[in-house]
Amino acid sequence: MIFRENRILAYAAMVWLTAILGALPECHAQVSEGFHAFTLGVGAGIAPVEGQDRKSLDRAFDIQVGGGYAWSRKSEFNNAGDPILPRWFFLLKGNFNFDQSDIKSSALQQAILLNPQNTSLLSATSGKAKFYFTTLDPTVRIAMAGHFSAYFLGGFGWLRRTIEFTGVSSQGGLLQPNGPAVFGPSGNSGVVDAGAGIDRGLKRDGGGFKIYIEARVIHGLANNSGTTLIPLSAGVRW
């Protein structure tokens, strides 16, 4: 049940991202030669947990998929007739992240102690917290020396926080190698984020692939206001 729900959420996020990219207007006349307007990327890393969740959760791992559209100034050329990459340009990016963290044993025991009427929770022996968040992030990218550029982003979106408790397998390790899920509360809310990163292009003209490192702060709103994550990721984008 929980696996099926998570899969549906992931598919929905991918559809949402595709729709955003497809809906953006074409502005090819504003893009310098050697510069591709569309960008796609994938990365992974760690996500320290802060806020109220810090007391209950270990450090999470992070997986990120994103894409967007960039606007630049009109083409400029040097004396040799080669295109000059603009020093700065604006992007509108969509990002989807999945983070997962183990629940601390002390937090698990406290949850069981404070909820003795929940018979499903009483059989829990471990647990994980899962975070799904998708954001729309206006981004400013600034070209630096060589193949490097820095960028700054901030935006808002949607967050789903799920706690999944698991118990001892009742059907043997072959059929239930990871233990069955016995209880799983979850909640949806808005989310805000901000961050910065540095990437290095493999081509000086702005085309091709780039490798990047990035740091973001994710803070949930409403019923998820106790959730703050700091994803630190590295990856590749085109």
CA-nearest of 165, 161, 87 to 121 is 165
* Residue 159 maps to a domain: yes
Q: Which among 115-119, 148-152, 189-193, 203-207 has the top mean pLDDT? A: 189-193
Task: Indicate whether this model's pTM tops 0.85.
Answer: no
Tens digits of per-residue pLDDT, 122-150? 888 899 999 999 999 999 988 887 678 89
* Residue 33 maps to a domain: no
| CATH number of the domain within which 163 lies | 2.40.160.20
Banded pLDDT at 155 (limits 50, 70, 90): very high
Q: Could you identify the residue written with the tokens 């020396």? A: 145
CA-nearest of 101, 99, 64, 52 to 223 is 52
Parallel, antiparallel, or unpaired: how do β-strands 88-102 and 124-143 relate?
A: antiparallel
* Residue 217 maps to a domain: yes
* Residue 30 maps to a domain: no
Predicted confidence at residue 143, as pLDDT, reads 81
* Residue 34 maps to a domain: no
- Domain tally for the chain? 1
**Percent share of the chain, pLDDT over 70:** 72
Banded pLDDT at 17 (limits 50, 70, 90): very low
Residue 73 pLDDT > 70, yes or no?
no
State the residue range of the domain holding 127. 2-21+39-73+82-237
CA gap 133, 188 in Å, rounded: 10
Tens digits of per-residue pLDDT, 196-224? 999 988 765 555 788 999 999 999 999 99
Tens digits of per-residue pLDDT, 159-187? 999 999 988 766 666 666 677 788 888 99
* Residue 29 maps to a domain: no
Residue 192 pLDDT > 80, yes or no?
yes
**What's the token pair of residue 113?**
């102690």
* Residue 32 maps to a domain: no
